[in-house]
Structure 1
Amino acid sequence: MKLKTITKLVIIVSSLGLVTGITGCFKSKSAQTGNHKDMIVVDNGEDAPTLDPALTQDTQSSRIIYDLFEGLASFDQKMQTIPGLAETWDISKDQLTYTFHLRQDMKFSDGTPITANDVVFSFQRIVDPKVASPYNILGSNIVNGQAIIDNKLPPSALAVSAIDKSTVQIKLVHPDASFLAICAMPNLGIVSKSNINKYGNNDWTQPGKMVNSGAYKLTEWVIKGYILLSKNSYYYDAKDVSINQVKFMPIVDFSSSLSQYKSGNIDITYRLPIDQYKTIKREMPEQEHTVTQEGLYYYDLNMTLPKFRDNLKLRQALSMAVDRSALVKVVLGQDQVPAYSYVTSTVEAGKFAGLDYDWAKWSRDKQITEAQKLFKDSGYGPNNPLEISISYNTNDLHKKVALAIGSMWQEVFGENSIHVTIANQEWKTFLKARNTANYDVARDGWIADYDSVDSYTNLYQCGNPQNNSKMCNKEYNNLLAQAQQTASPEERVDLIRKAIQIAMDEYGVIPLYQYTYYRLINPKVKGYEIEGNHLDHVQSKWYKF
């Protein structure tokens, strides 16, 4: 069965151009630059759905927002938290009160002052129900934050206050060792209160209207064309920003990205063709960089649908039937790690390792036998075939994964017992459909926002906007709440481990693999220390020629 499945996968991925062995089209010399002498051109992989910090929930938007806005804190290339718009801060002994001291004489890109009132306004937006931030959970631990999110108090009740024009005080409900890292997230980039009040929440992000606090300002935004940023001369550290312009290209097709890189039209790729990975590594070793990423690729099962919500055995069968080893070795082949847990084994230095499903250690034949039994016991078979559709955003990699998993399900359960279709959608359309549970099975992925298990546990919480499967176990939420309250680091880890196990027993998502990312960087680009960037959070102010 295993050999037959792998053989079928090889046939599938070969037909998609995954197994090609192409070598002739590569040159050992570096890609030549085009006409952009004082501009870096970056492939961003997709159109950015939004440039509003409070509304971002995706990699493409966040990458650009890191350039346009800065938070009270920032981060260096080792992903360590460093001062941002706040030059210093004080933390009370009980770790519940943070007092931030802003840098003196800072200005937005239009020359107006950045004040404590702008910081207060930015934090209020993240919890304001009218803004409807998908990341409103970032404000839930601030005093009154959850009540505001629940529309029980006005945003002005948030315990973020301006002590004076350059001092901000924030009061927390419980201690959070990750709070400074949260203050460096793109969602809490500081925006201009007067700018948004002038144009409104929907229009202020347009070129010519947007005012920025980061190293760059928005110059042009052509939907499905490009986004052009220019250096913000009012940025507090403008003297150390070397590149005057950054152009982001939404190149969805990986082969096109590679072609444009080789011709000198782009300087940094986003992703590259899977089938040419080994060839690229061999032919362009100084330009190719592969990095293990703190993130998970997984599938959501829509738990609002009775066929999933009311059938645990079906959910178990679908997860167990996926041959993750074949997926990462045959289909992907970029050193990804098979995933059998809802968190990685690497987050927080491995404190949450060892939570894999017990059946992950079984032989493949035993996994298949048990999956078939569970599927039969779930009520499906030749006389009652399961109809299932896999949704994904338009992308060659996602398509290949969907075809492979569909093939595995049909191979394990029988083509007469399960009918699998796949459907791609444009990025914005896909996000909306997934967020509103308008799907059957949906591809999902999560790159940790910072090195904390909280980046993953939020994904499975009842009512969390990032919980796309919509599964809900109240005991899970209760254990996480207890973990937040405890002052004991050991007890925190123990409570969270128990919570994760409860979520995994729900089988609402199918973990598939831990990400790696690989990209090409033109040798002319200096200052980008990619090897240690396991979160893949990037700021263009690091780039130099």
Structure 2
Amino acid sequence: MKKLKLFIILVALSVVLAGCGNAEGVYSDKGQVYRKVVSSDISSLDTALVTDTVSFNLFNQVYEGLYSLDKNDKAVPGVAKEMPEESNGGKTLTIKLRKDAKWSNGDPVTAKDFEFAWKRVINPDTASEYAYIMYDLKNAEAINMGKKDVDELGVKAVDDHTLKVELTKPIPYINEMFAFGTFMPQNEKMVKKYGDQYGTTANKTTYNGPFKVKDWKVEDKIQMVKNEDYWDKKAVHLDRINFKVLKDQQAGASLYDTGSVDDAGITAEQVDKYKDDPGLMKRLLASTFYIKMNQKNVPEFKNKDLRMAISQSIDKEGYVNSVKNNGSKAMDGFTSSLTAKTPDGKDFASTINSPLEYNPKAAKKNLEKAKKELGIKELTFTMNTEDTPDAKISAEYIKSQVESNLPGVTMKIKQLPFKQRLNQENKETFEASLSGWGPDFPDPLSYLNIMTKDSSQNNTGWGSEKYDNLVKEANGSLLQKPKERNAAMQEAEELMLKDAPVAPVYQKGEAHLINPQVKGIVYHQVGGDTSLKHVKIDKHIDPKTGKKKKE
């Protein structure tokens, strides 16, 4: 009996080790493979339905739009073979598509795939939360509001390789928008075949990018392989990409130390440990994190002085230095730096005056004023955050700041999986939530749009007619007047910050360990975080030293 048990254990171990060691294993380094730890899973493979950066980053690898973004976040041809031909004062775009683009099931990628995908996003029956990003297309908003038929959308496949796009007005950054995940094409045959199940598993969609998803195990791993049907496959060096979903960053660093992964984020306390490691990399991202305060579920949040007090009570410099220690930057504004420049070349974020800087004295004054106005002595609310160790430390720091600087205020913490946090925000079933936003295109409107009253991303119950009008002007009558447009966007952001519907905390930085053998990653500040099309693993480099191995 003992021999039988020992045999069973040995067989089980051999199966596990074989799974880790072969070319299919998520940690295997056989061939050209890039292995990355991600802290959250994707939400879907359906480009019409996602809103999160993890999914948009994956889309950059497995789908391709009309255009892609280069290392400077400028549009370059993707499925389109050239830049658009403009007419009608820039409101009509005629785009020629390459004839050799294919889906991973062998079907050609045609102009009809773009027309179908965009109409599906804007169709109110799809309930796409990102439909608003297409409102610059003719009739898009009216269609999404159910006032016009979807066939009236300003997009038409003239023939298989010609797409005609009609805009409501000329948009200076439209080609960069076309590179964003929501604008990517969809194979109508596959969407109709799988219906509500489309995009829920690796085999219930088809891909037209450099890679395709071979396996997706929810909350565990995503494995991609080179797409042999991709038109530019000769430029693709990697055989495989493996994403391992792991919420514990310390565990991710351990995997890096053992050579099991090539890229892993690290925590604040780990940064000093790896300060001399050639793989340590810090970068600042165009991404703002802030506390959403839901006025619908916490009526006290309707009080401007209370909202102001919460924002002013948090020592943001202390937060980024002690909690993050990864290149993150304290944030008092809303639009992140690195998003866009003003007409005179300044970073737009640097021109914003905000009253939401850390100021415990002002915070206490505003709290006392709010208490009198509300007729309360105490307030308790719950802030949602994610269920990772790093998120818990962040939330506890914010809780200690709020409670120590605002007498009578108690902040509870509720940890949720990433998808559930997003779901509660979307359904507005939360009280407060530590949330983040990164730009979808290189313009302040990518931030300002989401705080308009009817935006599906607002989720706070706050609204301002003046703010909405300023945003509308910046996206309309002022588009051809750069200085006036910039002034309107500055005024809008400063108006919103004075009302404090959200409490900005920090601009996201990241510290991670990346194998020095990994070459060719293109990092983006808008849309998906990276492009891995040109990545190559140089195995002549020693990962421990970052230098060429001695032959």
Sort the TM-score into its range (normalised by shorter chain): 0.7 to 0.9
Q: Does 1:212 align with 2:207?
A: yes
Matches within 5 A, 1:74-473: 74-88=68-82, 89-92=84-87, 94-269=89-264, 271-280=265-274, 282-284=275-277, 286-349=278-341, 350-358=347-355, 360=357, 364=359, 366-379=361-374, 384-414=377-407, 417-473=408-464
Q: Aligned in 2, Cα 1:149/1:236: closer, same or farther, shift over 3 Å?
A: same
State the shift of 1:300 in Å: 0.2
| Aligned-partner residue type, residue 171 of structure 1 | E
Q: Aligned in 2, Cα 1:207/1:351: closer, same or farther, shift over 3 Å?
A: closer
**Stretches of structure 1 lacking an aligned partner (at least 5 in a row):** 1-32
Q: Alignment partner for residue 37 of structure 2, among 34, 43, 46?
A: 43
Which whole-Å deviations, capped at 9, do the CAs of 1:207-243 have from their partners, x for residues lacking one? 3332111111121111122111111111110111111
3-state SS of paired residue (1:344): coil
Kept in 2, the 8 Å contact 1:293–1:534? The answer is no
State the shift of 1:437 in Å: 1.0
3-state SS of paired residue (2:350): coil
3-state SS of paired residue (2:81): strand
Q: Alignment partner for residue 493 of structure 2, among 489, 500, 513?
A: 500
| Aligned-partner residue type, residue 407 of structure 1 | S
3-state SS of paired residue (2:39): coil
3-state SS of paired residue (1:389): strand
State the shift of 1:309 in Å: 4.6
Q: Alignment partner for residue 62 of structure 1, among 50, 56, 64?
A: 56
User: Could you say which residue in structure 2 is the equivalent of 1:513?
Assistant: 506
State the shift of 1:257 in Å: 0.8
Which whole-Å deviations, capped at 9, do the CAs of 1:104-131 have from their partners, x for residues lacking one? 1321111111111111001112211121
RMSD of the TM alignment (CA)?
2.0
TM value normalised by structure 1: 0.88
Q: Does 1:483 align with 2:444?
A: no
Q: Distance in 2 between matches of 1:396 and 1:405?
A: 15
State the shift of 1:372 in Å: 4.4
Q: Distance in 1 between matches of 2:505 and 2:34?
A: 34
Q: Distance in 2 between matches of 1:290 and 1:162?
A: 44
Which whole-Å deviations, capped at 9, do the CAs of 1:149-178 have from their partners, x for residues lacking one? 101122221110011110001111122112
Q: Aligned in 2, Cα 1:41/1:346: closer, same or farther, shift over 3 Å?
A: closer
State the shift of 1:533 in Å: 5.7
Kept in 2, the 8 Å contact 1:346–1:353? The answer is no
State the shift of 1:34 in Å: 4.9
Q: Aligned in 2, Cα 1:192/1:357: closer, same or farther, shift over 3 Å?
A: same
State the shift of 1:50 in Å: 0.9
Kept in 1, the 8 Å contact 2:288–2:506? The answer is yes
3-state SS of paired residue (2:308): helix
3-state SS of paired residue (1:86): coil
**Stretches of structure 2 lacking an aligned partner (at least 5 in a row):** 1-26, 342-346, 538-551
Kept in 1, the 8 Å contact 2:313–2:360? The answer is no
Q: Aligned in 2, Cα 1:413/1:537: closer, same or farther, shift over 3 Å?
A: closer
Kept in 1, the 8 Å contact 2:381–2:431? The answer is yes
State the shift of 1:61 in Å: 1.0
Q: Distance in 1 between matches of 2:90 and 2:160?
A: 23
Q: Distance in 2 between matches of 1:314 and 1:492?
A: 32
State the shift of 1:187 in Å: 1.4
Q: Distance in 2 between matches of 1:218 and 1:335?
A: 32
User: Could you say which residue in structure 2 is the equivalent of 1:25?
Assistant: none
Kept in 2, the 8 Å contact 1:195–1:204? The answer is no
3-state SS of paired residue (1:329): helix
| Aligned-partner residue type, residue 286 of structure 2 | E
State the shift of 1:275 in Å: 1.0
Which whole-Å deviations, capped at 9, do the CAs of 1:487-526 have from their partners, x for residues lacking one? 2111111111121122222211001111112221112211
Q: Aligned in 2, Cα 1:44/1:36: closer, same or farther, shift over 3 Å?
A: farther
Kept in 2, the 8 Å contact 1:293–1:536? The answer is no
TM value normalised by structure 2: 0.87
State the shift of 1:40 in Å: 1.7
Q: Aligned in 2, Cα 1:504/1:154: closer, same or farther, shift over 3 Å?
A: same
Which whole-Å deviations, capped at 9, do the CAs of 1:80-110 have from their partners, x for residues lacking one? 2111110112122611111111011321111
| Aligned-partner residue type, residue 480 of structure 1 | V
| Aligned-partner residue type, residue 491 of structure 1 | E
Kept in 1, the 8 Å contact 2:356–2:503? The answer is no
Q: Distance in 1 between matches of 2:239 and 2:327?
A: 36
Q: Aligned in 2, Cα 1:475/1:368: closer, same or farther, shift over 3 Å?
A: closer
Q: Aligned in 2, Cα 1:329/1:265: closer, same or farther, shift over 3 Å?
A: same
3-state SS of paired residue (1:462): coil
Q: Distance in 1 between matches of 2:403 and 2:50?
A: 37
| Aligned-partner residue type, residue 409 of structure 1 | V
Q: Distance in 2 between matches of 1:164 and 1:529?
A: 33
| Aligned-partner residue type, residue 123 of structure 2 | D
Q: Distance in 1 between matches of 2:455 and 2:209?
A: 29
State the shift of 1:337 in Å: 1.9
| Aligned-partner residue type, residue 408 of structure 1 | Q
